[in-house]
Every structure is written in C-alpha cells, then in structure tokens.
Structure 1
Amino acid sequence: MTEAAVSHAGSKASGRDERVGILLVFLSALMWSFGGTLGRFIENPDSWAVVFWRSSWAAAFLIGYMVWRDGVRGTLKLFGSMGLPGLAVAVCFATASTSFVVALAYTTVANILLMQAGVPLLAALIAWALFRERVSAPTWAAIAAVICGVAIMVSESFNGEVSPVGDGLALLIAVMFSIATVITRRFAHVRMTPATCLGTIFAASFAATQIGGFAVTPRDMSFLFVFGAINLGLGLACFATGARLIPAAVAALIGTFEPILGPIWVWLIHGEIPSARTILGGTVVFTALLVHLGLEFRRQSRPSRPGTTGMPSPH
C-alpha cells in the first residue's frame, strides 16, 4: 500500500473515531440530563437510602462493563494502577454524586445543573491557584462572570427563598467536579472509569453508615436501578470512552447539553419552574461558558503551520 493510501485510510479511521466520540459524549450528556427528573420520581424520603442504592447499582454496572471490556485481570490492573490521583478523583466523585442526591431535597434541579455548567472555568481557576497554570485574559473574564452568576443564584438563600443547604451542596458539587478535572489533567494516565467506579463504592459505603433503612418499595427500586445503572453508570461509561476520541473543548461543548436539557425535563414532567434569579444567574454562567468554549474551539481548530501534522493544538 502506498504512503498516500495509508494516510487516506488513517484519516478515514480518525474521522470515524471522532464521530463515534461525539455521539458517545452526547449520549452521556443526554442520560445525565435526566438525573433530576428521575430523582423527583423517587418517593423514599431518606436521601441516604437513595444514595446507597443509586451508587450500588452504578458500581455494579461499571464493574460489569470493565470486566466485559478488559476481563477480570485487566479490571484489577486498572484499579491497581490508579494510585493516589485515582483515589482523589474517586473521593471527589463520591462527594459530588452524594451531594447531588441530597441537594435535590433542598433546591431546584436548575440551580444544581446551572452551577455545574461553570465547572470548566472553575477548574481553570483552581489550576491557576494550585499549580500556577497560565490563564488567558478572556478566561479570567469568563471566570469572573461565572462567579457573578453563581452569586446571583445563591443570593436566593440569603432571603429565605431557598435553602442555603441546597445551594451550598450545589456549589460543592461544582467545586468537587472542578478539582477532579484538574487532577485528571495533571495525571493523564488515570483512567476515569475505575476512578469513578471506586467513587460510587465510596458513596455507597458512606451512605450505608447513615441510612435509616435499606428497604425500598419495588416502584422506587425500579427508578433507583435506572437512576444508578443507566443514568449514572452508562453515562459515565459513554463519556469515558467518547471523551478520549475528541478534543477537550469539543467534549466540554457537547457536555453543555446536560445543564440545558436537565431543567427542561423537570419543567415538562414535574412542573418545576426555575425562579427568576436562577434563570438570570444561570444565563450569566451559561453565556460565559459558551463564549469561553467557542474561543477554545476556535483556537484548537486553527490550521496548523506548514510542516506540521494538522493535529489540534495541545491543551
């Protein structure tokens, strides 16, 4: 086969992989967007019971997925190779996923999801504070806008309109995801799937120490299975596989479908209408994120200089 033919075949494979990656990341965002809606269907008042069963189903799914993909030995090797960075990501994810379920009892789904939309920018701020990673002027402007938008949303808790516990947990979710993002960037060898699987195990173990009772109705268990195995577990598997095939800016841009669609599903199905401050603050956060991602996507899409391979700029 000639060199031109090899290059053409490689470009076709690369294009196909990128399309698969885009589809998988979109599917993960779509599945995650139903999290708040599913949580509203569960009638059990004990949030720790919900955390336990959701995390347990997610852990069972992810373990089964890794065993199917890598075999038993390969799965054990993945867990063993995570090291301290993987443990840190697991703790962050356990905290975030637990806080999400508990926050649903105190605040609106829109508040939770729209605060999470600022995770890429909060991660840039944390990376600058801890590792002095360079932050461009446009990114600083976007970070400032996100802080303002979150402040607008959280201000509702100051006058008693919503619970400060709920908004505090929503903010904690965003911070934990931001820290996990920074750790994953700094330690690129850490595989997301086993780390997040370990996080679900941590979450289930802690919930078991706080739970009022393990018994749930068959109806609730069916929703908990979907909430854990499909919404959380399958969503993570799709994202972990797809995000490796496309540029980070593209993955982040596609991920914005979650905070867009999540409040819409809850509004259509449960009639939960976001407050004016949530809409205003969320609009500020979301606009800052989209502008930032648009600039980053444009930077990565610039044609390479003569003599280069045409690959996206490193990030």
Structure 2
Amino acid sequence: MNDHQKGLCITTLGVLLVVPDALFVRLIAAEPLTIAFWRLALAGGMLSGGILLVQGTKPFRAVLSAGRYGAIYMLGVGSSGVLFVLAVSLTSVANVVFIIASLPVFAALFSRVFLDEPVSARMVLTMVAVITGLAIIARGSGEPANAHWSGDALALAVSALFAAALTAARHVRQVSMVPGAAMSYLAAALVILPFAAPLSVASEQAPLVLMHGGFILGSSALLALGPRYITSAEVGLLVLLESVLAPLLVWAVVGENPGPWALAGGSIVVGALFVSNLRALRHRRIRNRP
C-alpha cells in the first residue's frame, strides 16, 4: 500500500468514525451540556494521555508557542465541540450536518480575509449554491417537529468557528495541532462543567458515553493523520460522506425523518461541494501531469 492509498484509507475510517456522533447525542439520555462534557472530557483526556505517553510535553508546548493562532484554533475547536451537541439537541440531525457541510465556504472567506488568498471562480459558484441550499434548509425549519431555526443557527456557528480554527492552523502549518485539539477539548469540558451534571448519567448509559468519547478520539486522530498523504480536495470529498450517512443512520435507528426541505437543501449543499472538490482534484491532476 502506497502513501496515497494509506491516506485514503485512514481518512475514510476517520470520517466513518465521526458519522455516529449525532446518533450518540440522540441515544444518550442526559442534558445536552452533560453529553458535551463527557464527549469532550473523554476524547480530550484519552488523546492527551496518548500524546504524553508517546511524545511527552513537547507537542503541547509547540501549540502554545504558536501564539494567537494556536489560541484561535483551540477556541474554535473547543467551542464548536460544545455547540455541535447543543445544535443537535435543538434541531434535526440532517439540518445540522448539512449546514456544517458549508465549512469550506467559511474557510475560503477567512483565507481570503486573513491569509490574502484569492477566491477562485469555482469557489464563488460553490458559495452561491451552498447559500441557496442553506436558505432552503432554513425555509423548512419548524415544519418537522424536531427542526428549529435556533439549532440551525448554532450549526452555522459551528461551521464558522471550525473554519476559523482550520484557517488559524494553516497559518502555522509547521506545528501539529493535534495536541491543540486535545487541550481544547479538556478546556471546553472544564468551562461547561459548572453547568453540566456528569454524575446524572445512568449507569446503563455508561457504555454509550464511553463509545461516544472513543469514536471522537479515533476520528480526531485519524482525520489529523490521513490528510498528510492526500490532497485537500480528496479530504473534502471523503468528509462529505458524513453529511450523507449521518442523517441516514439517525433515520434508520431512531426514525428521525429529515423532511423534504432538509433533503432538498442538503442535496444542493452536498452536491455543490462534491462537484467543486471533484473539479479541484481533476485540475490538480492535470496540472501535475508530466
């Protein structure tokens, strides 16, 4: 297996591990902030422990030495981890994942503003299509019993915050931000601890809570490692799997129907990003052809 195949396998597995994230939020019988606390505390604790065991404190010090860019990354990742759970608790899973799929649009805008990178005509067309899809999703919020604009707004905030984190990370590419993710998870868990009730989770729910943290840990590690071997366009295509599979999984397991508006708007968002990433990948291959 060459490096490219390895990257595809690792990234695909990382995406598949994050697919059940919203389902765990639905299945765990606890308040949203309690679920968020355990989600972040377990993933952050296990990830930090693994890094300390293998590499010591040096990777953590490297992230802290990145200054404001490291701080922006940790703030974006930590806050989006909390807001994701709140968004799922307030609106449909389909709305959340389709809206979060707009992340590349925010990333392109932030890169233009803060990194002075040009926005291609392809990306402009993608933005128009994504905004249209989001407007359709917003139009349908409130019609399914489990969809509401407040959760949609939080999902949009998750997309923007995580895009800001990725933009900050690109500014200090020489520093691995995996330890930053671990620290941000733990910091966010501590911040929301006074508002959560960790011990209120029933004992029979413990396996679900542990699995939730384990899945987040696995996806975080694999999605940090896999993209080192493949292009960003390939990563973008693979990540779209979550947007397709997560609502279907929740629909199959708990019977949560996304509704026609979410399916229509989501299809536009995912379709536009799929075509955009596919064209970017094709352009890269043509450019690199000998």
Distance 1:106-1:189 versus aligned 2 partners, 3 A rule:
same
Counterpart amino acid of 2:73?
V
Distance 1:79-1:215 versus aligned 2 partners, 3 A rule:
farther
Shift of residue 176 of structure 1? 1.1
1:74 aligns with: 58
Counterpart amino acid of 1:138?
R
Tell me the TM-score normalized by structure 1: 0.86
1:36 counterpart (22, 31, 46): 22
What percentage of residue pairs aligned between the two structures are identical? 27
Shift of residue 84 of structure 1? 2.1
Counterpart amino acid of 2:251?
W
Counterpart amino acid of 2:15?
A
Counterpart amino acid of 2:181?
T
* Contact 1:51–1:203 (CA under 8 A) maintained in structure 2: no
Distance 1:180-1:213 versus aligned 2 partners, 3 A rule:
closer
Tell me how far apart the structure 1 counterparts of residues 51 and 198 of structure 2 sit (CA, whole Å): 30
CA offset digits 1:254-313 (Å, max 9, x no partner): 11111111111101111111111101110110111011101110121125376xxxxxxx
1:202 aligns with: 187
CA offset digits 1:146-203 (Å, max 9, x no partner): 1111111122347796322111111111111211222222221232211111220122
The answer to whether 1:92 aligns with 2:82 is no
Tell me how far apart the structure 2 counterparts of residues 191 and 125 of structure 1 sit (CA, whole Å): 23
Shift of residue 232 of structure 1? 1.1
Tell me how far apart the structure 2 counterparts of residues 85 and 292 of structure 1 sit (CA, whole Å): 28
Tell me how far apart the structure 1 counterparts of residues 48 and 240 of structure 2 sit (CA, whole Å): 27
Tell me the TM-score normalized by structure 2: 0.93
CA offset digits 1:204-249 (Å, max 9, x no partner): 0111122246332112222111111x22111100111111121111
1:114 aligns with: 98
Q: Which moved more, 1:156-165 or 1:58-67?
A: 156-165
1:148 counterpart (132, 137, 156): 132
1:177 aligns with: 162
Distance 1:213-1:24 versus aligned 2 partners, 3 A rule:
closer
1:10 aligns with: none
SS at match of 1:267: helix
Counterpart amino acid of 2:228?
R
Tell me how far apart the structure 2 counterparts of residues 113 and 153 of structure 1 sit (CA, whole Å): 11
Shift of residue 75 of structure 1? 4.1
What runs of 5+ residues in structure 2 fail to find an aligned partner?
A: none
What runs of 5+ residues in structure 1 fail to find an aligned partner?
A: 1-14, 307-315
Greater gyration radius: 1
CA offset digits 1:93-119 (Å, max 9, x no partner): 111110111112111111111112221
Q: Which moved more, 1:211-220 or 1:151-160?
A: 151-160
How many correspondences in the alignment?
A: 289
Tell me how far apart the structure 2 counterparts of residues 305 and 103 of structure 1 sit (CA, whole Å): 44
Alignment RMSD, CA only?
2.0
